[in-house]
A and B are shown apart, each in its own frame.
Chain A
Amino acid sequence: MTLAAYALRRVVAIVATIGILSLLVFGLLALTPGDPATILLGPQNATPEAIASIRERYGLDDPFIVQYGNWVVAALQGDFGDSIRSSEPVMSVITSRLWTTVWLALYAFIITVVVAIPLGILAAVRRGSWIDRFASSITLIALCTPAFAIGFLLIYVFSVQLDWFPGFGNGDGFLDTIWHLTLPALALATLQIPILLRQTRAAVMDVVDRDYIVFARSRGLSSSRIWLRYVLRNGSLPVLTSAGLILAFSLAGAVLIENVFALQGLGSLLVSSVGTLDLPVVQALALLTAILVLITNLIIDLLYYALDPRLRRAGAAA
């Protein structure tokens, strides 16, 4: 099966999944206790006239499927309705906060990759040494420490005591934003690094013991050749799959960290929307998050497919 055919199959599967998810997300409205109209208005505005007009505007008296259909059509055009709290269109609320989260995620990701992969490789190559044991213990502790605990610890040490970085807020302008995002990014990275480090270490350890490494060395291949074409090429496959895991992990962590550091990002938006039952926003965020996760997994699967010839020629006689 060619790469294109495989990609097509996966895309179809994802579209189906998104379809199901959108149905569930839309169904959140029905799940919420209380009358949908009152919820959408917010309890203070629930005058009978307002309720009647809301019912008409959102078609709340139409059958579920029709409501769902309308919602999907609007959603495909980027219209998720208006936020109950701020009365602004949901999409504009989201986009105003989008970049904070994106920068945070990117910043954390860079720190993670720069620290975890070299350390993971080193720990694997020097198995049993103090570096390896140190990395293992740090990994475990970091994995078990909750994000907000790390966040507060960082705030206490680096902001309250040392005053090197600000402990909250977004900042203005590029450099100021970077400065503000440093502690949050560090906190988020602390969650991601152990996962990537462990995966890298395990993948490299597995490869380094293999017969093909011994055979390659026996033929006089240079170390760099062996590293690139044998170790990394074969070891990167399992590390790729963990990238998907990292994304899922960091989405959850971002929520908590944005809260701890009072950042105006999508995570804190989700929490406040859930708290005020601002459903249109919640629905939009839930759906977009799911789409993001699915697309990331798709990209990883495609990369896997491209890198491992065995998947490509599935069905060829051995």
Chain B
Amino acid sequence: MSTDPAGTQPAQAMETPAEEKRRTRWGPVFWIAVVIVALFIIIAITADWIAPYDPFAQDLIASSQGPSAAHWLGTDQLGRDILSRLMVGSRTGIIGPAVVAICATVIGTLLGLWAGFSGGIADSVTMRSVDFAYAIPPLLLAIVLVGILGGGYWLAVAVLIVLSAPADVRVVRAAVLAQREMPYIAAARTLGLSQMRIAFKHILPNVAPTLAANALLQFVVALIALSGLAFLGIGVSAGTPDWGLMIAENRSILDLNPWAVIGPALCITILAVSVGLMGDRAFDVTTKRTNER
């Protein structure tokens, strides 16, 4: 031990070395989830080339059949290959939710920063609106709005963005209010730094990890919501290879080819759980890390 004044702070005392390891490392579960998600993304990009059949091609002779050598997961009522439809369906399963997560986060962050810094009336109005949006179950509103306005995938995405952003607004605004009292923000103001600079270079970096983890969880919620809407016949147009829609379309042949329903259900579940695990783990690691003294 040298006399280097950089002596370690005495242990935070309330954590075993084993717990600390588990907390700060990402863990094997996280990486498995990352691999799974990466796989889905690759499939979504390359679906057109690697799918064994055209997902729209009908073959009424081979309809409602179970798994076979020709069709690994069987066919649906119109003879369309289930596996190919699952692969192409990964597009609507990934793009829509991703757009929701990203847009909601960006919009929510900007609004939250603005509300937190402005204070006063701007803040009150923003927060009343946020509380208002919180009172409404998003899926219900989506059903009503999208259903009445005639459906459509992107309309559903837009509605979900509007309903997911309030959560980010709350998180960012709370972070702004909490950090504004901190000495390092007072020091920044004393140095004469502009509000914009303080917002983006000082406050945001501290809340960014939480936002990123939150975005992943928003992805999951959006995925489930969009699939749910498709399942109810609202959202994607009929015939699109979408996982949620496939479940609804094929429920009548559950006994003939259960894979026509189980396949899409598993795809949704596995993707959702993987991203959820990533988000959950990211949440633990990042929030605890930034709380470290």
Contacts and interface: CB of A to CB of B under 8 A. Distances in A.
A and B touch in the complex (CB under 8 A): yes
A69 interface: no
Contacts of A286: 140, 144
A80 to B, nearest CB: 15
A249 B138 CA distance: 9
A143 B220 CA distance: 9
Contacts, number: 118
Interface string B110-130: 000000000000000000000
Contact of A144 (B136, B137, B234, B269): B269
Contacts of A149: 247, 265-266, 268-269
Given A146-B268, A146-B272, A290-B135, A274 B147 contact: yes
Contact of A141 (B224, B227, B265, B273): B273
B132 interface: yes
Given A249-B137, A293-B136, A146 B227 contact: yes
Contacts of A252: 137-140, 228
A66 interface: no
Contact of A256 (B149, B228, B266): B228
A32 B149 contact: yes
A31 B143 contact: no
Contacts of A148: 227-228, 231, 244, 247, 265
A144 B280 CA distance: 11
A33 B273 contact: no
A248 B224 contact: no
Contacts of A140: 273, 276-277, 280
B44 interface: no
A210 to B, nearest CB: 12
B181 interface: no
Contacts of A275: 147, 233-234
Interface stretch (A51-59, A100-108, A152-160, A303-311): A152-160
Contacts of B244: 146, 148
B59 interface: no
Interface string B247-271: 1000100110010011001101100
Nearest to B147: A274
Interface string B205-247: 0000000000000001000100110011110000000001001
B6 interface: no
A145 B223 CA distance: 10
Nearest to A149: B265
A270 B280 contact: no
Contacts of A152: 247, 251, 254, 261-262, 265
B27 to A, nearest CB: 11
A32 B137 contact: no
A297 interface: yes
A145 B228 contact: no
A279 B144 CA distance: 10
Given A148-B231, A256-B231, A289-B137, A277 B148 contact: yes
Interface of A: 17, 28, 31-33, 128, 140-141, 143-149, 152-153, 155-156, 160, 209, 248-249, 251-252, 255-256, 259, 270-271, 274-275, 277, 279, 282, 286, 289-290, 293-294, 297
Q: Which 4 A-B pairs have the closest CB atoms?
A: A274-B147, A252-B139, A144-B276, A144-B272
18 contacts: A32-B149, A144-B220, A145-B273, A146-B272, A147-B224, A152-B265, A153-B265, A160-B254, A248-B135, A251-B137, A252-B140, A255-B232, A256-B231, A259-B232, A274-B144, A274-B148, A275-B233, A289-B140
